[in-house]
Structure 1
Amino acid sequence: MSVAKKEYKRVTTKSLVDMKKNGEKIAMLTSYDFSMAKIVDSAGIDVILVGDSASNVMAGHETTLPITLDQMIYHASSVVRAINRALVVVDLPFGSYQSDPKEALRSSIRIMKESGAHAVKLEGGKEIKESLKRILHAGIPVMGHLGLTPQSIYKFGTYTVRAKEEAEAEQLKSDARLLEKLGCFAVVLEKVPAKLAKEVAESISIPVIGIGAGNGVDGQVLVVHDMLGMTHEFNPRFLRRYTDLYSEMTKAFESYRDDVKSRDFPADDEQY
């Protein structure tokens, strides 16, 4: 069933809660730089996530672990300067919040003050409860992240689907309720069974954004480089490629190379 889309001049955390209440799905994508964020924002995407996936797609690391707080602030600042409408959420990177609630708050304050972003995102549930409380009590909006948590990849040992077993599924549901109770404005569910994700979304009042979590949630998020087909070697089931920029860009670069080699570029009308 289609739902009338409300126009939001600026998307806020309240806007997302209203979208859930009204049955309007939330569209979320990652961005890491000014130029891409400007296009994403102008396309009407509701939420831009400055993800620690920048560690993979921008810096070429195997995991999200190496990216630093300073680097996340740099990427977030670039994105914030580009947007007029979207809500900008920034990942707290690995090591900036897990062990010390005071450090978690300091990291969050730095992101908010130095980048101008609107919210932060943390991975985990009850194990980071004290960090969440500290950040939320300071008035900083928080988006949670449950299911597959990439910062814990060496703990899990694999990027496979999470919460297929009953005990883990019950813990995920409990963690989602905890995040809502603490005051998070939304939660991302990554790579969990669609039936479980739908159950979670229906059991809490805050929006649930899925990535590999089926269509029973309140919105979807993808890494922009993946959905544009720039990262052609990454092929999870949940990924839909909306274009093939890898091939298109390769053709453009090859054409430029050939034109330079043949002295066709620049032509007479491209010179001063």
Structure 2
Amino acid sequence: MSVHAAPRKRVTLGALAAKKDAGEPIVMVTAYDHPGAQIVEAAGVDVVLVGDSGAMTVLGYDSTVPVTVDEMLMLTKAVRRGLTAPLLVGDLPFGSYEASDGQAIATAQRFIKEADCDLVKIERGGTSVERARALVAAGIPVVGHVGLTPQTATALGGYRAQGRTAEAARAVIDDALALQDAGCSLLVVEAVPSEVTQALVPLLDIPVIGIGAGPDADGQVLVFHDLLGLYDGGAAKFVKRYAHLRTDAVAGVAAYAEEVRSGVYPAPEHSYSMPAEEAAQLREMTAAR
């Protein structure tokens, strides 16, 4: 597999719209730190999401709910420092935008000003539609998110597919249309039957990014740690492992530990030395003490 060695042109929302019109799939992936950002940059992805999934994959929380704005900003700033070409999306965490339009704008402005995000993402339809409208009116590009929305998974009955009846699917589609009408630039659709995505995509002018939403979305997104096999947690049905880096990492650290304990590491080639006359002088100095 080749990677992009030469700098690419910076991705724009117009470029994503052109991809949708041309039927060219959009590639989105999450990242949470500077090395991860450099990896996805080199791989040539179109969009990078600093998702609140980092609460679990990086920060060790049991869900996305506890992560704070300051924690998300720390992760997002680190990712920004590793990116050049892809669009950067910052995920507004639970409790940072739902209370009012003013709260949503204030939080989103921090992501734009402090972390240099290109867009921010919010979850759900309902009142989030009005939050999206207020953000867009304030000049902040927005990514909507429908279907399974992890921040409110408990209210949805847990981490399970949504829209599995015609009535429930219509509710997902209605939320998506409302978010587009509010001015969202992109839409993430998570964990819905493929038939829902097939019905939804032709109704929307904005690109639809699927995660567990079948092959008919305009693009796909996966969590960095899931696709690379780094996260030691349960994987959803839609996750495909493209590498098994956790296994390799554990083996590497175990080999290092064994060599330290056996005295193999560090070897002479891993050590610095002094000129012989300086070493002799040092021995004399220490012997005299």
TM-score, scaled to structure 1: 0.95
In the alignment, what sits opposite 1:148?
Answer: 148
In the alignment, what sits opposite 1:176?
Answer: 176
Question: How far is 1:203 from its partner?
Answer: 1.3
Check whether the contact 1:65–1:151 (CA below 8 A) recurs between aligned residues. yes
Structure 1 stretches of at least 4 aligned residues deviating more than 4 Å after TM superposition: none
In the alignment, what sits opposite 2:201?
Answer: 201
In the alignment, what sits opposite 1:82?
Answer: 82
Aligned pairs for 1:1-272 (under 5 A) are 9-272=9-272
Question: How far is 1:270 from its partner?
Answer: 1.2
1:152-195 superposed Cα distances (whole Å, 9 cap, x missing partner): 02212311110112222111111111111221111000000011
Distance 1:134 1:109 in 2: 12
RMSD: 1.2
Check whether the contact 1:124–1:146 (CA below 8 A) recurs between aligned residues. yes
Distance 1:60 1:165 in 2: 34
TM-score, scaled to structure 2: 0.90
Distance 2:236 2:32 in 1: 22
Check whether the contact 1:122–1:145 (CA below 8 A) recurs between aligned residues. yes
1:24-72 superposed Cα distances (whole Å, 9 cap, x missing partner): 1011110010111111111101110000001111111111000011111
Question: How far is 1:8 from its partner?
Answer: 5.7
Deviates further, 79-88 or 177-186: 177-186
Query: 1:149 is matched by which residue type in structure 2?
Result: T
Query: 1:249 is matched by which residue type in structure 2?
Result: A
Query: 1:35 is matched by which residue type in structure 2?
Result: P
Distance 1:232 1:243 in 2: 13
SS, match of residue 156 in structure 1: coil
Distance 2:222 2:264 in 1: 40
1:81-124 superposed Cα distances (whole Å, 9 cap, x missing partner): 11011100010000011121110000000110011111100001
Query: 2:60 is matched by which residue type in structure 1?
Result: G
Question: How far is 1:126 from its partner?
Answer: 2.9
Check whether the contact 2:130–2:182 (CA below 8 A) recurs between aligned residues. no
Question: How far is 1:233 from its partner?
Answer: 3.4
Query: 1:132 is matched by which residue type in structure 2?
Result: A
Deviates further, 183-192 or 126-135: 126-135
Query: 1:235 is matched by which residue type in structure 2?
Result: A
SS, match of residue 155 in structure 2: helix
Check whether the contact 1:17–1:185 (CA below 8 A) recurs between aligned residues. no
